[in-house]
Copies of this chain bind each other. A is one copy, B any other.
Amino acid sequence: MLVKPFWASTFDIITEFCYIRKIMEYTLNQINEIINGQVIGDGNIKITGVASVEVAAHGDITFIKGEKFIEKGVNSKASAIVVHRVIDELKVPLIVDKDPFMAFVRFLEVLANERMESEPGIHSSAVLADTVKVGNGVSIWPNVVIRDDVKLGNNVTIFPNVFIGEDCVIGDNTTIHANVSIMGKTSIGQKVTIHPGSVIGGDGFGYLQKGGKHVKIPQVGGVQIGDDVEIGANVTIDRAALDKTIIGNGVKIDNHSHVAHNAVIGENTMLIAYAKIAGGARIGKNVMIAEDVGINDHATIGDNCIVGGGSNVYKSLAPGSVVWGSPARPLNDEKKIQSIITRLPDMRTKIKELEKWKVKSEK
């Protein structure tokens, strides 16, 4: 059920467009073809929306994660529920799957894709250099501007007002959302999603001090982004001074994050919102960087590290480190220190009492 691009006057009016609550029209059996569980009850009922168990209304399908949510399921107004076992108290049709959340996610994926897919085509207002190479099934929306020697793989979707600089490569099945700027010499892998407003390949921030002025170090390197990467909204990933800034396969980057020039982010690492990865930092694989964390320039963060929210990491971390705080310390040390800081007024009082006693004793 592809969504036809609305600008395509040669296409029919898009009546089959189906998005979540609006005119979603699955039967429960059709949903189960996606979920691949077991339908209990009337599989022919029509489902017109998805919602959480608390919010669901008539027509919606929802899910419960396990035993302790059964009461919520009983009180829900949902018309169908995905559950982990047959539950007699639930009076509506069910889909049973041993992992109901994951099962529900499989259906959500189909809905989310419907929302994003557009039929192939290049809008007449898009401006592409003659040397741009475009794969099969590519969808380029209005006002997209693409410079020389860019290569777009198959099934790439570029939403409106995106700018792509010269010499970029974008892999198959990648989606670039509205108002994104991708500067020249950026290489992006397959199945990547970049959310609106992000800037990939802006100049790194590098200057020489000379005669009391800042002389710019020209930033002539590139950015290389792997496969299965997701980049949030209003993120910035700067080009390298020389060589490349690298984002590994499977990396997920949340809104407002910043990866500075020549940083390297290892595979499957996650950067939560406002991650600040300074120049030349090297983050390992499977690292979890929580919200609002700063990593110092040229610091090395080993594989599998976890950095707690709000931390500033000034020094390199061995693989598997779990740290928190500013400056970041081993988690348990920081917890102990924070707990003592709370008791500082009490400590101060005790020191004063000890001093009084000393003075008295010495008399």
Chain A residues engaging chain B, CB cutoff 8 angstroms:
6-7, 13-14, 17, 19-20, 22, 50-52, 55, 101-102, 105, 108-109, 111-112, 115, 123, 125, 127, 129-131, 141-143, 145, 147-149, 159-161, 163, 166-167, 177-181, 183-185, 193, 195-199, 202-203, 205, 207-208, 210, 212-220, 222, 230, 232-234, 236, 238, 242-243, 250, 252, 254-256, 258, 260, 268, 270, 272-274, 276, 278, 286, 291-292, 294, 296, 309-310, 312, 326-327, 329, 333, 336-338, 340-345, 347-348, 350-351, 354-355, 357-358, 361-362
Please tell me if the beta carbons of B234 and A255 are within 8 angstroms of each other in the complex: no
> Which among B22, B55, B127, B199 is the interface contact of A242 at CB below 8 angstroms?
B55
Contact B336 A255 (CB under 8 A): no
Given A127-B142, A276-B292, A341-B344, A255-B236 contact (CB < 8 Å): yes
Given A19-B184, A214-B270, A166-B115 contact (CB < 8 Å): yes
The 3 closest A-B pairs by CB, nearest first: A181-B196, A6-B129, A112-B218
Question: How many angstroms between the C-alpha atoms of A270 and B181 in the bound complex?
Answer: 24
Q: A51-B242, A129-B6, A220-B111 are in contact. Are A202 and B17 (CB under 8 A)?
A: no
B residues near A348, Cβ cutoff 8 Å: 340, 343, 347
User: Which residues of chain B are near A238, meaning CB under 8 Å?
Assistant: 233, 255
**Does B341 lie within 8 Å of A337, measured CB to CB?**
yes
* Pairwise interchain contact A22-B105, C-beta atoms closer than 8 A: no
